[in-house]
């Protein structure tokens, strides 16, 4: 087994249907080179999340091939595959425990200093240091005592700590205050540096900054290129 991925990702003629048999992805082909930022755009229900589900092997494809670093993903041990891919979702999984424990979930053997360094890189340190017990503050399951923006900052810190080779990001759609929004952008920029990243993009700025945009419509890749090209 490999220790790390370079992060080349290739989809070749990928077809996929969920259990109900309705075709959801139709002949999807694209290549992401190591370190590139790819924006996935398209209307709701077009298949963006499904592409991610297949890359993570939450489902198996019906035909075609998905390769990472030139090797079909079926050939990797599933746990290894998922270890190499970090996901930052709109609503991050937080468990009942301290802030420290929740960030450390990214890499369980990390020291307190490493957790705090990751939080600083993620721009999460500012809000954490104003909490009553700072890193020892207890959060309830689901993190309801935190704002959505704060939860996303913790997810970014966790992903920075995990140091994965490939990053998947589902950009927040809900309104987040400007300061937190800026911090999230800073955190994400640091997180995605040097990693192949796939962003389910909702903001124009993200799309403008992407190395490549994949436009999905009804399960088909209808356009691909840079912002200038499209
Ligand atoms: P959104 O922007 O709303 O998140 P999306 O582009 O990510 O949408 P997907 O979540 O990939 O779209 O969904 C694509 C299609 O697959 C939709 O028609 C959806 O109803 C269907 N779908 C998603 N998950 C399942 C499932 N588990 N079983 C059956 N159909 C599903």
- Domain annotation covers residue 28: yes
Contacts of 169 (CB under 8 A, 6+ apart): 87, 88, 188, 192, 197, 198, 199, 200
- What distance separates the 2 farthest-apart alpha carbons in the chain? 53
pLDDT-derived band at 143, boundaries 50, 70, 90: confident
Report the nearest-CA residue for atom 19 of ligand 1: 45
Domain residue limits at 214: 1-84+203-230
- Domain annotation covers residue 35: yes
Give yes or no for residue 149 CB within 6 A of ligand 1.
Answer: no
Q: What is the pLDDT of residue 2?
A: 57
State which of 47, 198, 203, 219 you would mutate to test the pocket of ligand 1, scoring each by most atoms of that ligand within 8 A of its C-beta: 47
pTM: predicted TM-score of the whole model, two decimal places: 0.88
Tell how far the Cα of 151 is from the centroid of ligand 1, in angstroms. Answer: 24
The predicted-structure confidence for 191-224, as pLDDT tens digits, reads as follows 999 899 999 988 888 888 899 999 999 999 999 9
Q: What is the pLDDT of residue 62?
A: 96
Cα–Cα distance between 23 and 6 in angstroms, integer?
Answer: 31
- Domain annotation covers residue 212: yes
- Domain annotation covers residue 114: no
- Give strand pairing partners of 168: 87, 198
Report the nearest-CA residue for atom 21 of ligand 1: 45
Domain count, the chain: 1
The predicted-structure confidence for 160-176, as pLDDT tens digits, reads as follows 999 999 999 988 766 67
Asked whether the CA dihedral 14, 19, 20, 21 is positive or negative, the reply is positive
Give me the CATH number covering residue 32. Answer: 3.40.50.300
- Domain annotation covers residue 31: yes
Q: What is the pLDDT of residue 43?
A: 93
Give yes or no for residue 42 CB within 6 A of ligand 1.
Answer: yes
- Domain annotation covers residue 48: yes
- Domain annotation covers residue 193: no
Give yes or no for residue 44 CB within 6 A of ligand 1.
Answer: yes
The predicted-structure confidence for 129-140, as pLDDT tens digits, reads as follows 999 899 999 998
- Whether the complex's predicted ipTM is more than 0.95 is answered with yes
């Amino acid at each position: 087994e490999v220790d790390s991925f370079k992060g080349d990702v290739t989809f070749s003629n990928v077809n996929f249907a969920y259990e109900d048999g309705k075709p959801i992805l139709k002949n999807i082909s694209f290549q992401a080179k190591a370190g590139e930022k790819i924006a996935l755009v398209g209307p709701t229900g077009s298949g963006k999340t499904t592409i991610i589900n297949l890359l993570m092997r939450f489902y198996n494809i019906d035909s075609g091939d998905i390769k990472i670093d030139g090797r079909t993903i079926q050939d990797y041990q599933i746990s290894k595959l998922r270890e190499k891919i970090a996901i930052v979702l709109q609503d991050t999984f937080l468990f009942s425990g301290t802030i420290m424990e929740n960030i450390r979930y990214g890499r369980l053997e990390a020291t307190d200093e490493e957790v705090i360094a990751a939080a600083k890189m993620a721009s999460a340190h500012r809000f954490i240091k104003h909490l009553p017990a700072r890193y020892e503050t207890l959060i309830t399951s689901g993190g309801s005592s935190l704002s959505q923006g704060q939860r996303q900052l913790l997810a970014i810190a966790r992903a920075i700590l995990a140091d994965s080779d490939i990053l998947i990001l589902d950009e927040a759609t809900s309104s987040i205050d400007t300061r937190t929004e800026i911090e999230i952008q800073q955190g994400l920029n640091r997180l995605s540096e040097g990693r192949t990243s796939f962003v389910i993009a909702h903001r124009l700025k993200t799309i403008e900054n992407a190395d490549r945009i994949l436009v999905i419509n009804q399960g088909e890749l209808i356009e691909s290129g840079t912002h200038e090209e499209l």
